[in-house]
Structure 1
Amino acid sequence: MQITTIGLDIAKNVFQVHGGNRQGQAVLRRKVRRDQLLPLFRRLEPCLIGIEACATAHHWAR
Structure 2
Amino acid sequence: MNATTVAVDLAKSVFQVAEADAQGRITNSHRLTRTQFERFFANRQVDRVVMEACGSAHHWARSLTGRGLPVRLLPPAHVRRYCLRNKTDAADCAALLEAHRNPKIRDVRIKSVEQQAL
TM-score band (shorter)?
A: 0.7 to 0.9
Task: Return the offset for 1:41.
Answer: 0.8
Q: Which has the higher contact order (CA 8 A, sep 6+)?
A: 1
Q: TM-score, normalised by structure 1?
A: 0.79
Task: Return the offset for 1:2.
Answer: 2.4
Distance (whole Å) between structure 2 residues aligned to residue 38 and residue 47 of structure 1: 17
Structure 2: 5+ residue runs without aligned partners? Answer: 60-115
* Residue pair 2:7, 2:50 contacting (<8 A) in 1 also: yes
Q: Is 1:50 equivalent to 2:14 in the alignment?
A: no
CA RMSD between the two structures: 1.5
Q: Percent identity?
A: 29
Structure 1: 5+ residue runs without aligned partners? Answer: none
Greater helix share, 1 or 2?
Answer: 2
Q: TM-score, normalised by structure 2?
A: 0.45
Count of aligned pairs: 58
Task: Return the offset for 1:27.
Answer: 1.0
After TM superposition, where is structure 1 displaced by more than 3 Å over at least 4 residues in a row?
none
Q: Which has the greater radius of gyration?
A: 2
